[in-house]
Amino acid sequence: MGKSLGIFLTGRIATGVIEEQRPCSSVYHHPENPEDTDSLLDTPLDGLVELVCAQALRAVKDCGPIDAVGLALPGIIREGVVEDSPNLLQLKGARIAERIRLALSDAGIQARVTALNDADAIAGGVAAKHGRLDKFIRLWALGYGIGFGRYPYTAGIWEGGHCVVTLDAGETYCGCGGRGHLEGIMGHRAMRLRFLDMEPEEVFAAAKTGDERCVKFVRLWHRSLASATANSIHMEGPGRFYYTGFNVKYLDLKLLQHYLQQMVKMSPLQNYALEVVPMTDELAVTGAAIAAEQAAGA
């Protein structure tokens, strides 16, 4: 097994090379400023492809031949096509794997490109970091939206952030317009819409001081995540769940476990484990590269 390139495309571009399925140790970013997370949102598709190609060349410089390329990005990604991507609207409908493959080929990188959802890539990176590449794991990414990832990769939609966790007709904060969605409660954008007078960090801080409105919401936030996790357990069985993303700092594992115990009662399904992992671009880059290696070897 040789070297593979991982590309993580969200509000920024992160690229890196892995060897022998070991976690990526060096990641290149565009833009360089970590606070600049939305400069790519208005970049046309052709411009994004050019930027990704330039960052790929930067990452592979002097590292020798590349056997496979993995591209992780948000949205519904199937067979190399972006069927929908609410966070990068210009990608909708793009045959992104083929576009990137051709661009890299013109630049001298001859390798198959595998495109996958970013949460699936993060799950693969977590599996590599924790020595669980031979295990089944699931991951919730808590950020602007809510991502759900699985490893090993299995074909499917897996838009877990849009699972329905409440029948309250007033829960309409999800960016997709759907009612009762997990992302409409937990997503950073949704929380800002709900509390127009407070930022999410202020909401959680106020809950700790006993503010009734904020305490009620924090309970809803955790109960919703427990519901989505319980649904996954009831559909696919118990196992290990990882939680990551920039808003994982708000997660109280004890409270999550408390609600989950109320929801999962059948004894064969109670053998689950919950763990928080810090989010890094290295995880997504590593997972994307591993997915590409596995697809190339299939």
Which of the four pLDDT bands, split at 50, 70 and 90, describes residue 41? confident
Give the three-state DSSP class for 168. coil
At residue 20, the pLDDT reads 80
Q: What is the mean pLDDT of residues 31-44?
A: 87
Q: Residue 206: what are its φ and ψ, rounded to 5°?
A: -65, -35
| Strand locations in 170-225 (E) | none
Alpha-carbon distance of 34 to 27, in angstroms, equals 13
Mean predicted confidence (pLDDT) in 242-256 = 97
Phi then psi for residue 168, to 5 deg, are -65, 115
Check for a shared fold between 3-124+280-297 and 134-276. Answer: yes
Structure tokens at 65: 């031949």
Average pLDDT rounded to a whole number, residues 32-50: 90
Range of weakest confidence among 25-29, 183-187, 222-226, 269-273: 25-29
In this predicted structure, what is the pLDDT of residue 63?
84
pLDDT of 150 higher than 90: yes
> What is the tens place of the pLDDT at every residue in 101-111?
999 999 999 99
Closest by CA position to 160, among listed 132, 135, 186: 186
pLDDT digits (tens, 9 = 90+) for 110-142: 999 999 999 999 999 999 999 999 999 999 999
Global pTM value: 0.93
Query: What's the mean pLDDT in 277-284?
Result: 95
DSSP class per residue in 61-126: TTS----EEEEEESSEEETTEEEE-TTSGGGTT--HHHHHHHHHHHTT---EEEEEEHHHHHHHHH
Domain 134-276 has CATH 3.30.930.10: no
pLDDT 10s digits, 1-10? 589 999 999 9
Q: Domain limits of the chain?
A: 3-124+280-297, 134-276
Q: Residue 226 is encoded by which pair of tokens?
A: 């427990």
Q: Cβ neighbours of residue 232 under 8 Å, at least 6 residues apart?
A: 138, 148, 160, 241
Q: What percent of the chain has pLDDT over 70?
A: 99
CATH architecture of the domain covering 3-124+280-297: 2-Layer Sandwich (3.30)
